[in-house]
Structure 1
Amino acid sequence: MFNKSKSPAKPSSVPSIPPLPDMPQAPQTPQQAQAPSAQPRQPVAQPQASGRNLSTLSADLQFEGNVSGAGDLQVDGQIRGDVKVGRLIVGETGAIEGGVNADYVEVRGRIVGAVSGKQVKLISTAYVDGDITAEQLSIDIGAYFQGRCIQGSRGAAPAQAAAPRPSPQPAVVPQAPQPVPSADAPQRIDMSSN
């Protein structure tokens, strides 16, 4: 009824993954070397968070001046100046003294200055001394934050005050007439406003 094959079954659901270019290739078993691939090998896409490469300022570097660009930046060193990038990660050894403006900001280190972004995350090792303007803010237990938190978009102008309404007129209370001072009496001048 059933016909059993004497050859070992090949796992067809496990795709073969090509080795990384800088890693030595693992030795193949004789069965793997002889087995023809059922499907042509497709290049494996490397996942990236935003499709851009991450630039890094390493822990032993100090930078004085403003940093700007549309790319991603990880700061493990120190920056004295404003930072305006697409995505910013401040590592545990990283420190920024200046304003920060990015779509995504993740702080594990220290920032002294205003932070502005769409999404701001303060990890438990973060130290932020400055105002934060964000659409989404996440603060882990243990993170230090000193400043004001403003929820809203980065580019939005401050909300305009409503059109001024006419203030109600205060009730006028008639005052008693003041006596006329004599020429010999000292004069008193009342400087209070009514």
Structure 2
Amino acid sequence: MFNKTNTPRPAAQPIPPLPDLPTAGRSVSAPTPAPSPVASSRGLSTLSSDLSFEGVISGAGDLQVDGAIKGDVRVGRLIVGETGAIEGNVAADYLEVRGRIVGAVTGKQVKLISTAYLDGDITAEQLSIDVGAYFQGRVLQSRRDVPASAPPARPAPAPVAPEPAPQVIEMKPV
């Protein structure tokens, strides 16, 4: 019925090992975490969960806070991780809060993720608050600033006509 022929098979090619599997003489390193979607080419600075900082932080770069900060923070982009806590005012173009902030927040885009705790006022162009996030304070929607080179147009004042000189009319009895 079935006839098995003995044809020679080509020599098996070795299969290279997968990068995450250990091989003899090679150690496995921990997988590198995927870069944050907000991390830019400048890199993301991180304050890890076992660190605390007291003072003012400012700069144009990106910062992830997993530790504790007592003081004001002003950066380009800020992510407050679930273990992160900031006690002070925060200003950033992009702000994602997963942890705790006690203080006023100002930004172009502010996101409160479901694990966020924010006690303070928010001033933002765009704001999103996930279900489960805690927020106590006021929200003010800011508007994009008009460039200084183009001041807002004002209506020109109406030209004022000079008052005519009073005319003297003599009336004579008839």
Superposition TM-score, scaled by structure 2 size: 0.61
* Residues 113, 131 of structure 1: 8 Å contact kept: yes
Could you tell me how far apart the structure 1 residues matched to 2:36 and 2:83 are?
26
* Structure 1 partner of 2:115: 125
Q: Moved runs in structure 1, 4+ residues, more than 4 A?
A: 23-27
* Residues 134, 154 of structure 1: 8 Å contact kept: no
Give the deviation of 1:26 after TM superposition. Answer: 10
CA gap of 1:155–1:112, structure 2 versus 1, over 3 A, is farther
The question of 1:81 aligning with 2:71 is answered yes
Superposition TM-score, scaled by structure 1 size: 0.55
CA gap of 1:24–1:129, structure 2 versus 1, over 3 A, is closer
Give the deviation of 1:47 after TM superposition. Answer: 9.3
* Structure 2 partner of 1:160: none
Instruction: Choose from 63, 80, 84 the match for 1:90.
Output: 80
Q: Give the root-mean-square deviation of aligned CA atoms.
A: 2.4
Residue 85 of structure 1: SS of its match in structure 2?
strand
Sequence identity percentage: 74
Unpaired runs of at least 5, structure 2 = 1-17, 24-34, 147-174
* Structure 2 partner of 1:109: 99
* Structure 2 partner of 1:152: 142
Unpaired runs of at least 5, structure 1 = 1-18, 28-45, 157-194
Give the deviation of 1:154 after TM superposition. Answer: 7.8
How many positions carry a matched residue from both structures? 117
* Structure 2 partner of 1:53: 43
Residue 150 of structure 1: SS of its match in structure 2?
strand
